[in-house]
Amino acid sequence: MITAERKPLDEIIAMILPFKKVLVVGCASCVGECAAGGEKEVGLLGSALRMDARMTTKELETREMTLERQCVYEFIDRLTGLIDQYDAVLSLACGAGVQAVAEVFPNIPILPALNTSFLGQTKEAGLWLENCRGCGDCRLHLFADICPVTRCAKQIFNGPCGGSQDGKCEVNPETPCAWHLIVTRLEDRNQLDLLEEVYAPADWSKKEGAGPRKIVREDQQN
Partner 1 sequence: MNKENLELNVAIFFCQQLDPDQDSNRRVIEKELGPGIKFFPLPCSGRIEPLHFLHAFESGADLVYLITCPVKSCRYQQGNVRAGKRIAFAQNLIREIGLDPERLILINIDPPLPKRIDLLTRELLEGAPVKGHSLLSRL
Partner 2 sequence: MKIESQLKNVLAAGRFAVTAECGPPKGADPEAVIKKGRILKGYVDSVNVTDNQTGVVRLSSLAACVLLLQEGLDPVLQMVVRDRNRIALQSDLLGASTLGIRNVLCLSGDHQSFGNQTQAIGVFDLDSIQLIQTVRRMRDEGQIIGGEAVSPPPYLFIGAAANPFADPFFYRVIRLAKKVKAGTEFIQTQCIYNLDRFKEWMSQVRDRGLHEKVYILGGITPLKSAKMAEYIKNQVAGMDIPEPLIRRMKSVPAKGQRKEGIKISIETIQALKEMEGVHGVHIMAIEWEEAVPQVVEQAGLMPRPTV
Could you list the residues that contact partner 2 (CB under 8 A)? 153-167, 170-171, 177, 180, 183-184, 192, 195-202, 204
Cα–Cα distances in angstroms (integers) from residue 174 to residues 152, 157, 163, in the given order: 13, 21, 14
- Considering only residues 33, 52, 87, 130, which one is a binding residue for partner 1 as defined by CB under 8 A? 52
Residue 48 near residue 20 (C-beta atoms within 8 A): no
Judged by CB under 8 A, does residue 47 bind partner 1?
yes
Least separation in angstroms between residue 149's CB and partner 1 is 33
- Residue number, 38 or 159, with CB nearest to partner 2: 159
Which one of partner 2, partner 1, none is in contact with 163 (Cβ closer than 5 to 8 A by kind)? partner 2
Q: How far is CA 152 from CA 46, 135, 201, in A?
A: 38, 14, 16
Residue type, 72: V
Quick check: 14 binds partner 1 (CB under 8 A)?
no
| Residue 10 interacting with partner 1 (CB under 8 A) | yes
From the list partner 2, partner 1, none, partner contacted by residue 204 (C-beta under 5 to 8 A by kind): partner 2
Q: Closest distance between partner 1 and the C-beta of residue 114, in Å?
A: 15
Give the integer Cα–Cα distance in Å for 185 and 145: 9
Q: Which is nearer to partner 1, 35 or 135 (CB)?
A: 35
Min dist CB 120 to partner 1, Å, is 21
Q: Is the Cα torsion angle 96, 98, 104, 109 positive or negative in sign? A: negative
63 in helix, strand or coil?
strand
Please list the helix, strand and coil fractions of the chain in percent, rounded to the nearest 5, in that order: 35, 20, 45
Using rule CB under 8 A, residue 85 touches partner 1: no
Between 43 and 176, CB nearer to partner 1: 43
Residue from 69, 74, 62 nearest 19 by CA:
62
Q: Which of 1, 20, 50, 133 binds partner 1 (CB under 8 A)?
A: 50
Only one of the segments 46-54, 103-111, 153-161, 177-185 lies at the binding site for partner 1 (rule: CB under 8 A); that segment is 46-54
Out of partner 1, partner 2, none, what residue 43 binds, judged by CB under 5 to 8 A for its kind, is partner 1
The span from the CA of 127 to the CA of 198, in Å, is: 34
Q: Report the C-alpha gap between 150 and 147 in whole angstroms.
A: 6
Measured CA angle at 177 (ends 174, 178), to 5 deg: 125
For binding to partner 1 (CB under 8 A), which residues are involved?
A: 8-10, 13, 40, 43-44, 47-52, 54-56
